[in-house]
Chains A and B, each alone.
Chain A
Amino acid sequence: MDIILNQYYLQIVIFVLVNAILGVSIYMTLSTGQLSLGNAGFMSIGAYTCAILTVKAGFPVYLAIPIGGAAASFISLIIGYPALRLTGIYLAIATLGFGEVVRVIILNLKITNGALGISGIPTLGTKISKMLSSFGLSRFGGLTAQQTSNLLVLVVLIFILAFLVFFCTRLNRSRVGRAFASIKADESAAEAMGINTTYYKLLAFALGAFIAGMAGGLSAHLTFFIGPKDFAYHRTVEILSFAVLGGSDLIIGPIVGALLLTMLPELLRSASEYRLMIYGALMVIMMAFRPQGLISEETVRFWKRKLGRRIKQ
């Protein structure tokens, strides 16, 4: 039990989950065939909004995190509307520029504390433990306070991720999801079928920004410090590589990508030093040999058929 509840392992699992949520955020935009390079920017808007609300205005965390997501989503509409009326390349450029501008603004504003960042953010774990102890549940048999709080955070994150997966699978079977898929397959054909492509692309983009903003708020409350450097362009590339490795056809793709790429530096110590170089090389190789990512709809169909036959025998 002690090995499973090791502080270090719990921490890694928490990072995997946050990255998986970020993977879902880029999946959302990619599901209409658009590439957003502003996920780190939206994450930072979510993180700073959330941190400022809890540290300076005394908001409760469970309220501040969705507000952070909503702020990111609102800004995404301003960027997305002019860029998404055009083809995909414009969104990539506009969001790339946006990420840099957010960084410049955060560096210069007073409320974000410039380059020093915001520290002393209450962590999610202590908040939840406090809430529970007010109900008289301070300890679960034999666990230290630290373990309890980490486990609780884990449960919350798993719950959020499960909800997102549920939401996305339901969405894919709805009218909106089918509109997304048709835009991804062929934008002109979708438009000819009477689908308002700008509206649906904007919707997917804003949803992605909302999830990224929430993930930003969560990560601010997991690390108790945020600075402008945490959300640089590299973070976007990292998020993008989850979707590139895992595949962006199905929601499970970016989640698996996040799992593999977050575990990689932990398993291979020497890999952590060359992490970003590996991501870069991975992107080139994947695009050349398997642009649909590790898991595509075909992969799932193949394994279903193969496993199904074995069960029949």
Chain B
Amino acid sequence: MFWQQLVNGLTLGSTYSLVALGYTLIMGVLNIINMAHGEVFMFGAFVGLFLVNYLKVNIFVAMAGAMVASALLGILLEMLALRPLRRRAVSDLAPLISTIGVSIFLENLALKIFGPQSQAFPAGALSGVQLQLGPIRITLVQIVILGISFGLMFVLRFWLSKTRVGKAIRTTAESIETANLLGINTNKIILLTVALASALGGIAGVLVGLSINAVEPTMGLSMGLKGLAVLILGGMGNITGAMLGGLILGIAEVFTVAYGASSYRDAVAFGIIILILFIRPQGLFGKRQGGRF
């Protein structure tokens, strides 16, 4: 029972980590919270669903397609809602409000197009194979989710620390002005970061849609909130924090459901936010000042 729940929690948590990584990347580079990230996640899920249902492509192709489409949406978001604000000095709240606007717009656009009912991936998208490993039963969907999310996280880590572009992103995160002086095209780097963050959100959408077998326009809000909880739990702009924080939240939620209060599952994320703000406001893995990535 315990090990089974642990695996379920890790699977759920790894999708939270992917979503939280999107918040963290944008937070690290631009120092803002992208409130529309949850809706990018929802958009990715719908793109995946559309590709599988109507174009009958393989589920892995659909995931790649969702990543590309979400990245494009992210680029649009940066150009329309974030870049105009950077040109002039505005208060810290302006990007927050602007992205809230984008999120509410996208959610209601999806409601208009797809309707409020939830839709499912077709039964054959990933066959319901189950493996028995000692006391643990693990489905193929879970293996795919775990494999893809952990794979992506490690690739991202390596890419940020070792490659030239990754280093440019980290420099921009330290200071946009300094990065500009060093000859980095920061506008391009910011665009790339937002696209990357959105791509991660998009594929997380397909993975979550597969695992709970439901895709609906309102899925963005609750997932966005959980990503934000992980962001605070792990420390703002801290990549390791986002990865581990997501796993912690996922496990905490699964155990809350397994051992009692199932209807309060969605309250766990909020409880964690308030608790962390009281005892360790810089997050579990954050330092008090600076030191991003």
Contact = CB atoms under 8 A, between A and B. Distances in A.
A96 B97 CA distance: 13
B186 interface: no
B42 to A, nearest CB: 14
Q: How large is the interface on A (under 10, 10 to 19, 20 to 34, 35 or more residues)?
A: 35 or more
Given A94-B277, A98-B270, A108-B263, A287 B85 contact: yes
A79 interface: yes
B237 to A, nearest CB: 11
B100 A237 contact: yes
A117 interface: no
A93 B102 contact: no
A109 to B, nearest CB: 10
B93 interface: yes
Contacts of A287: 81, 84-85, 90, 94-95, 97-98, 101
Contacts of A281: 101, 105
Contacts of A265: none
A131 interface: no
A234 B266 CA distance: 18
B263 to A, nearest CB: 5
A145 interface: no
* Interface SS, B side: helix
Interface residues of B, number: 44
Given A82-B277, A288-B85, A35 B93 contact: yes
A233 B112 CA distance: 18
Contacts of A98: 270
Given A33-B91, A100-B270, A283 B277 contact: no
Interface of A: 30, 33, 35, 37, 79, 82-83, 85-90, 92-94, 96-98, 100-101, 104-105, 107-108, 233-234, 237, 240, 244, 274, 276-277, 279-284, 287-289, 291
Given A280-B102, A288-B80, 16 more contacts: A82-B281, A88-B93, A89-B33, A89-B92, A93-B232, A94-B273, A96-B228, A97-B225, A97-B228, A97-B273, A274-B108, A274-B112, A280-B108, A283-B101, A284-B81, A284-B105
19 contacts: A30-B93, A82-B277, A82-B278, A87-B92, A93-B228, A97-B229, A104-B264, A104-B267, A233-B221, A244-B97, A277-B105, A277-B112, A279-B101, A280-B101, A283-B104, A287-B90, A287-B94, A287-B97, A291-B91
Interface of B: 33, 80-81, 84-85, 90-98, 100-109, 112, 221-222, 225, 228-229, 231-232, 236, 263-264, 266-267, 269-270, 273-274, 277-278, 281
